[in-house]
Amino acid sequence: MLTQHQVRRSISPQIFNFIILGILVLLYAPLVHYWYDGWISKNISTEHEYFSHGIIGFPFAAYLVWMNRKQWVRLPDKTHVLGAILLALGAVFYVSGVGEWVNLSLPVILTGLCLWLKGIEGFKLQSFPLLLVLLATPNSVPYLIAPFTLPLQSFIAGTAGFILNQFGLPVVVDGINIYARGRIVEVAPYCAGLKMLFTTIYVGLILLFWTDTLSSKRKSSWFLFVAVIISVTANIIRNTLLTFFHATEQDGAFHWLHDSWGGDLYSACMLLVLIPVINWIDSYFSESPVRELEGNER
């Protein structure tokens, strides 16, 4: 049986890489196309909708792999046994026919390839692109954690009801339901901003990596904390507007913000706010040691 090194010595590295890329494209192009079509056309299951941040995540991961290509080539060929195990596991997932397992076979096989071709160093080099692929791969995690979002749903419903009452619109809140003028708005897990929260954290990780801030635990923790607060606040405002539109029978505006491109525009504007936030956090914590030093010298 030929080993990896024997195979690679018999053909040029470029051809070897193209062969691997071609196999991956044949295996996963239909699957990724299905995901993208569902995310863009919104004709995919609700659980898969939670991973629509993959629209930007997959291209960015591919861009990072391309930028790392010279470092990848310079790494010595070193096979790690875990790579073979993950490749075998990914193959089993793929041929199983179980939807979620087929989905998860993508990050499993990509990780296995990194370990099989370049060992631990190869995995470290591509660790962030692999993380982006994993976090954008549709799975049942949102379905599993949905029952635990009830406190968040109730908080958003209560806060939205309080705001509307202050603006003179009589509202009654019962748990996760908001009653106004004989109409009801339910703050379901999806409406509670779980998808927006996933997207915020995902985009936040990309911004942390892009600004070279991810290595600082202090900056990263503060930024992600503020990002979560912004996401929850934005969703409270969104649910307040949805309740107002529904109660005042502005059904066109309601559907535009709830399940049309208005919701996407609203989310995009919220995500843009993260850019000045990360710049502020980066500059603030970078200046803090200087301020402390000046204070000690005085």
**pLDDT tens, position by position, 24-80:** 999 999 999 999 999 988 888 877 888 999 999 999 999 999 999 999 989 998 889
Q: How far is CA 235 from CA 106, 177, 229, in A?
A: 32, 15, 10
**205-228 average pLDDT score:** 93
Reported as a single tens digit per residue, the pLDDT across 44-53 is 887 788 899 9
pLDDT at 9: 56
pLDDT at 8: 53
- Give yes or no for a contact between 142 and 192, defined as CB atoms under 8 angstroms apart: no
Phi, psi of 168 (to 5 degrees): 90, 10
Answer yes or no: is pLDDT of 298 > 80. Answer: no
Q: % helix / strand / coil in the chain, to the nearest 5?
A: 80, 5, 20
Q: Quote the DSSP letter at residue 177.
A: E
Query: Global pTM?
Result: 0.86
271 Rama class: left (phi>0) / alpha (psi -120 to 50) / beta: alpha
